[in-house]
Structure 1
């Protein structure tokens, strides 16, 4: 240890060096331990990675490469000294041959990634296409050999010569994370060995493991001996590294034996909480930070309501069977009841977005406000007109504490004067009770709409041989296949008559006298229309809104992924149609049937890679997903077919839910809506009706939802021990009703509730260990911090070296200029700055306040005089002057540092870089 003597003013010499000598009784095992730790690290990483996937490569070549590279670099590292020069040759050789074989290495990477991609996503498609199978073995073997070479260079040097965990982690963890991120199980033994290696090298690199407590300087007295107070840096040796590895393995073995011997089982409540925490931790990702934090806080019992529209970020969904909403309806309804709380229209980068606010600045939306009719009211208004019976209902929705910040509403809501509208998407009550809302509505779902448009129209129209509609009853309106003509003077509802006349005048809709057109073939019995002018007003507004719909809800991303989807579904989407309800439902049903026949409904579809398109991956590659996959894909395919559609989320109540509800004394029905009824679906626009929900998800119907993942549609089959029912629906023979009543599920009598199952990431057989996904983020943070620290230290070293160079080299006039500039920066830390170039006055002030405290009296005035003489009088300072100035500045810097607190010292050393420190 270098000895440092300090001469105090009292004449006492103090030495801070402590020399200890211990007789060595046993031969040193450090080199053996270091070599063993290195081999454990290399072998565990390689075997962990190869154990997760099944590659085709030359095993004998890879094994030979491992032993050769490991032996060579371990011997060099153990030898040390001048032998380390061979390391440089190895690095240069690696770079040279890697460049020479770069094409084969890249090709090997493509083959390897294809295997990883297919196994991780259970896909039969290759990520990289058009690769020659004959080149796979040689190229993959080449890639593995070069990786082993790199592994040997890094691990041997940073385990044996300079123990440091940063670079070993950088070359080992990403390789394993490829499998862990995609849910592939790691071999248990090698996974534990790999973790123990990381912990061992972390221990070996540890310093500053202890220090004397107390102030900043001085001595600690022990009996009659005095010891200087300073940090004691104790090196953790290779023996400790081996101890860490042995400890990890022993703990793992003992824990496994104890659990097997005692048959320990956790209680159901502990298991449930453990699953919640495990799921939240495994899926924690900074890429999806908001949802990750919400899931983690919810797992620990702190509810944080958060909804994310980034698709494919979670590899599974697991329900807790908790009540999210309590819904009471005035009377039973047929079909499904959808309660929406989010509407999204734009799809890109695997996420749904709202339309930009600029889209809603159209005058049409001012008309909606002025006349008190919004697009959200269309289904209720038109439904009441055509069906002509009292189908109105009332719903009360009470949110649980988990959902207290959300507002949910059904379709077909009537405006009774206490509702506010969010553009053309959602509705909210103006006076909302705490977490409780109520609405009057007309049940609106595809089943009701088809009856409405089918049977309802037939009551008033008959179709002639020439294809034109003939009126069944004559009245004040004249109808044609494309429009109905009304007379404004015939409207008996005074309020709406004035509104209709004003709207027609403002928009120049009168053809002659007071007649105007509506672009739909309305029933001939118009007496009801003239008595209820709000329907005519709604028809006029809907005719205007329809243009907005077709301009904004048909967008599909223009990229290669969407082109491939369109090509695969061209037989269904590239069809001409006249936007009649019958044609629309036929196209939608064909899309639904094909998706159900080619995909599997599952709550464990896996994560969609960030580089892959969510819709394409589901439709053409994995064929596995749940409601968000089906709804998103259905919206895109509907748009490709020219049908306006958008993405909706909320909750669904099917007939079985309503039938199972509690019947109250007033015959109303109360239903506890569980979290497993949270849902995503498509909204489609039907001309003359408005936005209605449409179900694309396989297994969902108006009556029930799938309790278990379903399989692609097959012919009717029976299995022992269960009852299986499926319906094989032809894509070409579809009708209106089959879109709503066909079953695409495979339901067994032994199905269990999904909320009682434990979700485990899929792997490729065999036992394995799954390291929580949050580890990748922890190591990413560690690496990021290490990189920042390294940059800060490099910057500090560079600035100090440049300052030293400026003080020592060059002519003395230039050197004193740098010194004075440095002095100004130091004095700025004492809140002293020169103003208006009055250097002499500034020097006097510095001497007044800090002379003989931070430096010797008159020192800064001397520095100022020398600097001014050099700058303005062409004087050349002598070397003695430079040395004196440097001494004054050193004293000033040291004094500022010593009088600073810990935070200020850190700032002065690493951010300001004004002092060298201790």
Structure 2
């Protein structure tokens, strides 16, 4: 066509000639690549999920559903727009059938969640209790069939038709997260393949090269000519997706092989840090976000410690054997020392809270401040009335990690310099941060019990009449008169009466007038105590607990002896039925913490026993609270460092952090009471039991090992409770068998997938990945070759073409010697001319390449075309003359075709 040129004032030439450029057509692998990526995602998600938990379902039905839906939606996705109406109809059918089977799907979900819960927490307790066991296989199979259906709908459409990672992630990630969040190991192969699929899908939805139909117009410039550009898209997303999957799996294979070959082992320090991080991640929950963040930052070595009193959120406790406190005691003591820093008063929604501020507006708290006698002072003041000789001093130094907390013993004596937090805790008013000291009268429940028992001949709840004038101390006498006058306690003149609950020496009381003032305040404070510290949630769960423990809650609690007898009965029953364990696992969110511990799980550590003790004591009519801090037993003091002044220094480790029950004894005050199994005033002997490892293989060996573990656990429980426990063979077998299970694919009876099937699947997938890597390598080499032939400076293009010809001829065992290219060209012409290429073509190719190499001229386009045609003719002839094996080698190993 005749070219018409015009030039504007800017010097730009515009041509109206028609220029057409047709690129050599290559095979389009976009659809096969996207289909392969979708199949990989579909398969890897199912295999990862079913490999984590021992579900019981009809494996054949689910497998057939997976294959059928996969083929159906793969076909629809490849057909594209032509099949969209069928796709829409199938989604409608899914919704209709899911609605019809909703009750069965719902029940299947409950069974599945029970398995997930029990596997995650190594428990035999079901999360959902009211379900019919006989319907498990049918309902779980139905649930999985509908899930496979949904998975096929989403994955194939949003991988092949409209690549988008949002919905595929929403239907696949939660499944793997269910296991990984709870510490269940995922198969390395299937897990990494699933991750590779996610990354591939993300790349496919974001990588975009060039323009596409519907985009912006533009021009292409060649020299000084501008040509209109069509709305054309050059898209490589599917190839990038395949490349990402191949890369991820290659890195995984290399890393795994390296670790296996080198037998690499991490150091103990790294293992410890990794264990801390893993446990912090496994225990992470949004319902207990602050504490979870605290544990996580602590695992990474950052100081962000947070403490709340939400119960049942940690599935286990692990101590690091680090020193939290350094305690020096003036003289050794009999019994345990409890160092308190927190008191919980209200139990609600599996959490302990303090009383509301409004509760402390009671007049009695104004009286405490006015007369400078507080409930925290009562134990020391009143216990001295029944036994003596326990005066002591304690110095407490906190570790850096515990610097912001304050700990105090029971029985502190008020000699000034103390700060009182309502009726809860006590701390020094002034002092160095992280350091505190107290004068205290050591409170020991056994000594109190023995002293009360030895004075049983004295009646309780008696009223003694005093005359204020008999009080020796003038200030105390004035305080007593003022208080009695304000509260209308005077009978006539200066006489008043006091109700007392423990025996005492009248002369001692009159000489120490503060004791009378404390008793008057204590009589008023008792009303507050019985109003605020007997509350139990009015729930079905609490009623079940009360009914189960009714036999030990009905004792007489009108006296101190009666209270102590009831508490001992509660303790014996609790320890007889519940085992101390550092691995109690989390409390299901739909369960009450106390009910679950006492009636279902029967496993727990100090917070379980202490909380249950508070609730049961309150049910028996005994005021009680929940307390936390540290415990120091007699063995710890004995093992401590003896100082020259007869004092003892004890390094208090983190395994002495503790929770216990506080009880209120009328006439004495708040004192610690120990319900936790294995804890005593002398020693701590808990023998914590770890859970048996879950297994996916039902073998004689694993069953035997689990039977041994079950026997050991029950024996430990029997030793701890002090009762004899008998386990029959059938019971042991039943207990262990419930823990044995597998993937559940095949017969739906909970058996593991046969190893042969696993090996075949793994082998096929390895072959598939190998083929993908080889295909990807071939694609990249060809792309690079085409780029070298078609772009860049002309001399470089010619050199690349000649270099390719040398590789082709080398496959025919023709190589240039000593760099004599002319002689080599003559030899090639002699042997191959007329058969592999036109006569004289290779000599021309050599001459052009030599001229370009030595700068003796720039080849034109016709010469480049001739050179390109020559090497393509050689390549085609070599390939046509080759057999099948040689062709495979040429295409995929040497990549010369």
SS of 1:316's equivalent in the other structure is coil
Partner of 2:755: none
Shift of residue 166 of structure 1?
1.1
**For the structure 1 residues 561 and 182, does the alpha-carbon distance in structure 2 shift closer, same or farther, using more than 3 Å as the test?**
farther
Cα distance between partner residues in 1 of 2:173 and 2:139: 23
CA displacement 1:415-439 (0-9 Å, x = unmatched): 0111110000011111122321110
Q: Decide whether the 8 Å contact of 2:207 with 2:237 is kept in 1.
A: no
Aligned partners of 1:625 and 1:227: how far apart in 2? 79
Distance 2:192 2:356 in 1: 51
Q: Aligned ranges for residues 369-388 of structure 1 at < 5 Å?
A: 369-387=369-387
Compared CA separation, residues 354 and 56, structure 1 to 2 (3 A): same
Distance in 2 of aligned mates of 1:680 and 1:221: 80
Secondary structure in structure 1 of the residue aligned to 2:189: helix
Aligned equivalent of 2:283: 283
Do the aligned partners of residues 672 and 104 (structure 1) sit closer, same or farther apart at CA in structure 2, a change above 3 Å counting?
same
Counterpart in 2 of 1:555?
535
1:252 corresponds to: 252
Shift of the alpha carbon at 1:112?
Answer: 2.6
Partner of 2:603: 624
Task: Report if aligned partners of 2:80, 2:161 keep a CA contact under 8 Å in 1.
Answer: yes
**Given the superposition, is the C-alpha separation of residues 381 and 25 from structure 1 closer, same or farther in structure 2, using an over 3 Å criterion?**
same
Q: Does 1:454 align with 2:459?
A: no
SS of equivalent residue, structure 1 residue 52: coil
Deviates more, 1:117-126 or 1:585-594: 117-126
Q: Distance in 2 between matches of 1:624 and 1:376?
A: 33
Q: Which residue of 1 aligns with 2:199?
A: 199
Task: Give the direction of change, closer, same or farther, for the CA distance of 1:600–1:462 in structure 2 (3 Å limit).
Answer: closer
Q: Corresponding residue for 2:292? A: 292
Change (3 A) 1:21 1:297: farther
SS at match of 1:339: strand
Over 6 Å off, 4+ runs: 8-15, 19-22, 208-211, 218-228, 717-720, 722-725, 762-767
Aligned to 1:316: 316
Measure the CA separation in 2 of the matches of 1:426 and 1:11: 91
Name the counterpart of 2:775. none
SS in 1 for 2:385: helix
> Following TM superposition, by how much is the alpha carbon of 1:307 offset from its aligned partner in structure 2, in angstroms?
1.0
| Structure 1 residue aligned with 2:441 | 442
Once the two structures are superposed, what CA deviation does each residue of 1:677-704 show, in whole Å capped at 9, x if it has no partner? 1111111111111111111222111122
Matches within 5 A, 1:68-87: 68-87=68-87
Contact 2:557 2:620 in 1 (8 A): no
Cα contact 2:597–2:608 (8 A) shared by 1: yes
Question: What is the DSSP-based 3-state SS (H/G/I as helix, E as strand, rest coil) of the residue aligned with 2:112?
Answer: helix
Distance verdict in 2 for CA 1:300–1:182, change over 3 Å: closer
Q: Secondary structure at the match of 1:684?
A: strand
Match of 1:608 in 2: 587
Question: 1:100-157 CA deviation, whole Å, 9 max, x = no partner?
Answer: 2222222322333333344444444544444333333222222211111111111111
Report the 3-state secondary structure (helix = DSSP H, G, I; strand = E; otherwise coil) of the residue aligned with 2:719. Answer: coil
Q: What is the rounded CA distance, in whole Å, between the counterparts of 2:225 and 2:463 in structure 1?
A: 108
**Does 1:525 pair with 2:494?**
no
| Structure 1 residue 172 corresponds to structure 2 residue 167 | no
In the alignment, is residue 566 of structure 1 matched against residue 559 of structure 2?
Answer: no
SS at match of 1:385: coil
What residue in structure 1 maps to residue 476 of structure 2? 496
Pairwise CA distance, 1:662: 1.0
- Check whether the contact 1:631–1:681 (CA below 8 A) recurs between aligned residues: yes
Structure 1 contact 492–530 (Cα < 8 Å) conserved: yes
Whole-Å Cα distance in 1 between the matches of residues 20 and 637 of structure 2?
84
The question of 1:263 aligning with 2:263 is answered yes
The whole-number CA distance in structure 1 between the counterparts of 2:516 and 2:222 is: 100
Q: Do structure 1's residue 96 and structure 2's residue 96 form an aligned pair?
A: yes
1:643 aligned to 622, 640, 653, which one? 622
Matched, 1:583 2:562: yes
Aligned to 2:401: 402
Contact 1:484 1:522 survives alignment (8 Å): no
Q: In structure 2, the residue corresponding to 1:510 is in which secondary structure?
A: coil
Q: How far does the alpha carbon of each residue in 1:753-781 deviate from its partner, in whole angstroms, 9 at most, with x for none?
A: xxxxxxxxx997889xxxxxxxxxxxxxx
Structure 1: any 5+ residue segments left out of the alignment?
A: 1-7, 212-217, 464-468, 470-479, 732-743, 745-761, 768-918
TM-superposed CA distance for 1:261, in Å, is 2.0
Matched, 1:540 2:520: yes
CA drift at 1:37: 2.0
Residue 75 of structure 2 aligns to a residue in which SS?
helix
Q: What is the alpha-carbon distance in structure 1 between the residues aligned to residue 261 and residue 722 of structure 2? A: 54
Q: Structure 2 length as normaliser, TM-score?
A: 0.71
1:591 deviates by 2.2
| CA root-mean-square deviation | 3.6
The structural deviation recorded for 1:411 is 0.5
TM-score of the pair, normalised by structure 1: 0.70
Q: Secondary structure at the match of 2:663?
A: strand
Q: Which residue of 2 aligns with 1:841?
A: none
Task: Judge which range, 20-29 or 167-176, deviates more.
Answer: 20-29
Equivalent residue for 1:158?
A: 158
2:661 matched to which residue of 1?
682
Q: Within the alignment, does 1:662 sit opposite 2:641 as a pair?
A: yes
Question: Contact 1:56/1:137 (CA < 8 Å) preserved in 2?
Answer: yes
Distance of aligned partners of 1:730 and 1:531 in 2 relative to their CA distance in 1, 3 Å threshold? farther
Structure 1 partner of 2:719: 726
Unmatched runs of 5 consecutive residues or more in structure 2 = 1-7, 212-217, 692-709, 726-737, 744-897
CA displacement 1:813-858 (0-9 Å, x = unmatched):
xxxxxxxxxxxxxxxxxxxxxxxxxxxxxxxxxxxxxxxxxxxxxx
**Relative to 1, partners in 2 of residues 1:445 and 1:187: Cα closer, same or farther, differing over 3 Å?**
farther
Shift of 1:346: 0.9
Q: Hey, what does 2:330 align to over in structure 1?
A: 330
8 Å CA contact 1:203–1:236 kept in 2: the answer is: no
* 125-134 or 246-255, which deviates more: 125-134
Counterpart Cα distance in 1 of 2:56 and 2:310: 36
Other structure's SS at 2:414 match = coil
Largest Rg, 1 or 2? 2
**Does the 8 Å contact 1:484/1:521 carry over to 2?**
no
Q: Aligned partners of 2:86, 2:597: CA distance in 1, in Å?
A: 52
Q: Who is 1:146 aligned against?
A: 146
Structure 1 residues 765 and 88 mapped into 2: Cα distance closer, same or farther (>3 Å)? closer
Shift of 1:233: 10
Corresponding residue number in structure 2 for 1:340: 340
How far is the alpha carbon of 1:324 from its aligned partner?
1.3
Partner of 1:110: 110
- Structure-2 separation of matches of 1:653 and 1:319: 16
Q: Secondary structure at the match of 2:568?
A: helix
Q: How does 1:418-429 map to 2 (within 5 A)?
A: 418-429=417-428
Q: Number of aligned pairs?
A: 693
CA spacing shift, 1:133–1:673, aligned 2, 3 Å? closer
Per the alignment, residue 489 of structure 2 pairs with 509
Q: Paired residue for 1:53?
A: 53
> What is the CA-CA distance between 1:496 and the residue it aligns to?
1.2
What is the Cα deviation at residue 330 of structure 1?
Answer: 0.5
Distance 1:225 1:363, change over 3 A: farther
The answer to whether the 8 Å contact 2:280/2:299 transfers is yes
Task: After superposing the two structures, state which structure 1 stretch, 535-544 or 306-315, moved more.
Answer: 306-315
Q: Is the 1:635–1:646 Cα contact (8 Å) retained in structure 2?
A: yes
Cα distance in structure 2, aligned partners of 1:99 and 1:39: 28
Output the CA distance in 2 between the equivalents of 1:276 and 1:221.
61
How far apart are residue 35 of structure 1 and its match? 1.9
Question: Could you tell me how far apart the structure 2 residues matched to 1:131 and 1:183 are?
Answer: 26
Find the aligned partners of 1:690 and 1:227 in 2 and give their Cα distance.
Answer: 97
| 1:38–1:432 Cα change, 3 Å | same
Residue in structure 1 matched with residue 875 of structure 2 by the alignment = none
Alignment check: 8 A CA contact 2:687 2:716 kept? no
Separation (CA, whole Å) in 1 of partners of 2:91 and 2:617: 57
Q: Aligned partners of 2:722 and 2:674: how far apart in 1?
A: 16
1:203 Cα deviation (Å)? Answer: 2.1
